[in-house]
Each structure stands twice: as C-alpha cells, then as structure tokens.
Amino acid sequence: ETGVTQTPRHLVMGMTNKKSLKCEQHLGHNAMYWYKQSAKKPLELMFVYNFKEQTENNSVPSRFSPECPNSSHLFLHLHTLQPEDSALYLCASSQENGNGYTFGSGTRLTVV
C-alpha cells in the first residue's frame, strides 16, 4: 500500500457516460495532482491542488473536471470522453514544495 489509494483500478466507459475517479491520501500532504500516462510518453500533468485550491490546469479539455473537497481527497469527473482519452490516470500527493511525490496505483481507463 503506497499511502495514496485510487479507485477504481479499471474503468471501461462509453463516450456518453459520466464517471468519477477517486483519490485518497492520509500522508498529511498539502498538494495533490492528477496525471495522465500514455504508452511511451512522459507523464502529463493535468491538475494541481495546493491546500484544496486549484493552482494548475494544463489546458485540459473541459470533459475532465477535478474536485478537491478537502486536503485528503481528490476526484476527477469524466463526461463525454473520447477514445484518445484512454490511458492510465495517476493521482499523486506531496508536501507543498513538490518534493518526493507519492503516487497511487492509477486507474486504467478505456473509452469505447
């Protein structure tokens, strides 16, 4: 167990579905992140939250909507996704200065 828990581990959804990914950490970290990982590509930062406030949104399409209700929980709401959105979605947490990220095991998303 890494200290960062992501659910579900696998998700298959149609292009018209709405689903949510959940991330939870109890490491006392102040920052949480959503990353997209596609095969043979670098990790793509999607969103950053510091002390529950969104501080980064790297030009992510509006079909991805993050939510951070408290410093321990992070959600990624998904709707009307495209097949090219299929990827491994990773959640991570860190102290405020971004040193030493702890990652969850990810959600393997397939859009059909």
Partner 1 sequence: EDQVTQSPEALRLQEGESSSLNCSYTVSGLRGLFWYRQDPGKGPEFLFTLYSAGEEKEKERLKATLTKKESFLHITAPKPEDSATYLCAVQGSNYQLIWGAGTKLIIKP
Q: Residue 31 or 111: which CB sits closer to partner 1?
A: 31
Q: Cβ neighbours of residue 72 under 8 Å, at least 6 residues apart? A: 24, 25, 26
In angstroms, the CA 78 to CA 56 distance is: 18
CB of 82 to partner 1, least distance (A): 22
Binding region for partner 1 (CB under 8 A) out of 14-22, 61-69, 71-79, 93-101: 93-101
Q: Does 17 bind partner 1 (CB under 8 A)?
A: no
In angstroms, the CA 25 to CA 109 distance is: 21
Q: Which residues pair with 47 in a beta bridge?
A: 34, 57
Q: Does 108 bind partner 1 (CB under 8 A)?
A: yes
Site for partner 1, rule CB under 8 A: 2, 4, 6, 40-43, 45, 56, 90, 92, 97-106, 108
